[in-house]
Amino acid sequence: MGPYLDSARRYRWSLALVLTLVWCAGLAAAVAGYMNTYESTATIWVLRASPELLQPSANDLTAAIPQTAAAQQAELLDQLLETQSFVRDVVKRTSLSATLGGASNEAKILDDVRKRFRVQAPGSNLLTISFSGRDPTMGPEMVNAILAVRAERVALARVQGSAALNALYQKQYEAAQGQALDAQQQLDSFNAAHPAPLSDVDQHLQAQLRLTLDLAQARLADIRGNLDLAALAPAILDISGLEFQVVDLPSVPTGPSGGARAALTLAAVAIVAGLTLDALFILATTLLVRRPQRNATTRATETGRVPANASRQYRADEATARS
């Protein structure tokens, strides 16, 4: 460690200059980033929809998802933000629409907007959506836009899902209706062919036919109810508004906010970078200074003329290196 400490003492002013330049530049960038960052946040109260509305059929068995309502909605928004079309629709609802339309590299703008969103679920039913940017008015625009586009996408998905479910139930209803008609015809044919009084065997057959008809009519009624509920469920969810309620609307921030984490990260990187550069500088200068001294001493030893001061310095360096 001796030679390295000697190099540090010898070049202490150069090391101090490197630290000052790197640290000042990093801290200045961190302060500028913090002072020019404005974050706007919306707080949403979410509830899990009623199972009767989400699963119109009592026979529709689905595995329970071990997620809270807020975590489920946060995951939905995170997945939507990964798509270019969703982010594009969000940007088109803001004042950046003209900039996006005239941009030569649309993907770069969309990626920058995507990175500035942050979706969190601080509670089981609490959801926050934040956007940070350099313009204080851009945050509320972006948050309101993402809420509006998300509502449109969810409503469209419900309509499409309801249409597919209606088509399925309609097929089942037609099949069940045919079975009920067949059962009724069989019972009518049996009654016409077997006038009263009926024997015990005929009574047993008649009871079986009536039971088959009752079961067919009960299944037909169940499917008709599921069909009506499947058509009404999306409308009930949209009208009620209980599933997704915006508690706190986004507002224009009055001062810098949301940039503390990025500023601290940048400052920490600057501190580590300054110390790393100083360590590399000490290592390089130590190796460059010691190598010529060793080469000179080696050549003098081979010729038999070793200066006393060089020999003593060489032995001292070797002893220090071993220690």
Residue 61 lies inside a defined structural domain of this protein: yes
Residues 272, 287: one domain? yes
Mean pLDDT for the stretch of residues 211-239: 76
Residue 1: pLDDT over 60: yes
pLDDT given for residue 143 in this prediction? 93
The better pLDDT of the pair 302, 35 is held by 35
pLDDT given for residue 91 in this prediction? 92
pLDDT given for residue 293 in this prediction? 53
Residues 113, 234: one domain? yes
pLDDT given for residue 6 in this prediction? 77
Mean pLDDT for the stretch of residues 282-298: 67
Residue 226: pLDDT over 80: no
- Single residue among 219, 241, 258 that ends a domain in this structure: 258
Distance, CA of 223 to CA of 174 (rounded, Å): 10
Residue 86: pLDDT over 50: yes
Distance, CA of 82 to CA of 62 (rounded, Å): 27
Residue 73: pLDDT over 70: yes
Q: Where are the beta strands (DSSP E) in the chain?
A: 38-46, 117-120, 126-133, 244-248
Closest by alpha carbon to 19, among 194, 198, 289, 278?
278
In angstroms, the Cα distances linking 86 to 11, 93, 150 are 56, 11, 8
Please compute Rg for the chain using Cα positions: 39
pLDDT given for residue 294 in this prediction? 53
Per-residue b or e along 260-276, where b marks 16 or more CB atoms closer than 10 Å to that residue's CB:
eeebeebbeebeebbee
pLDDT given for residue 242 in this prediction? 58
Q: Which residues pair with 118 in a beta bridge?
A: 130
Q: What is the pTM of this model?
A: 0.60
> Which of the given ranges, 60-74, 115-129, 164-178, 258-272, has the highest pLDDT on average?
115-129
Residues 272, 153: one domain? no
Give the structural domain span for 12: 2-23+264-322
